[in-house]
């Protein structure tokens, strides 16, 4: 299985969503905790999809998950998303800062 942890992966976005969901869960009470459900749902989905993609790529290197293809096709062309990805890659150490 190939996994360069210095690159931005959608598993990282999933973990961030789960953490945000936990923070909101602690801050909100009553029915407002239902607001946290999408954070947990999408966070688990993104992380699991990325893990599955990398496990499958160990046997089938050309495989890309549907979520990965959606990101590359529809989201990455957006300049804000592209800048966010470049910034995160710099933070992770893939690219030199500066």
pLDDT at 95 (0 to 100): 60
59-75 pLDDT, tens per residue? Answer: 998 999 999 899 889 98
pLDDT at position 78 over 70: yes
Name the region of 12 (left: φ>0; alpha: ψ -120 to 50; beta: rest). Answer: alpha
Domains in the chain: boundaries: 10-92
The structure's pTM equals 0.76
13-50 pLDDT, tens per residue? Answer: 899 999 999 999 999 888 888 899 999 999 999 999 99
């Amino acid at each position: 299985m190939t996994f360069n942890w210095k690159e931005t992966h959608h598993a990282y976005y999933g973990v961030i969503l789960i953490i945000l969901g936990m923070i909101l869960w602690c801050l909100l009470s009553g029915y407002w905790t239902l607001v946290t459900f999408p954070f947990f749902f999408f966070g688990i989905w993104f992380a699991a999809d990325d893990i599955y993609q990398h496990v499958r790529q160990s046997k089938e290197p050309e495989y890309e998950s549907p979520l990965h293809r959606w990101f590359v096709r529809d989201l990455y062309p957006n300049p804000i998303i592209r800048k966010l990805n470049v910034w995160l890659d710099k933070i992770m150490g893939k690219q030199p800062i500066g």
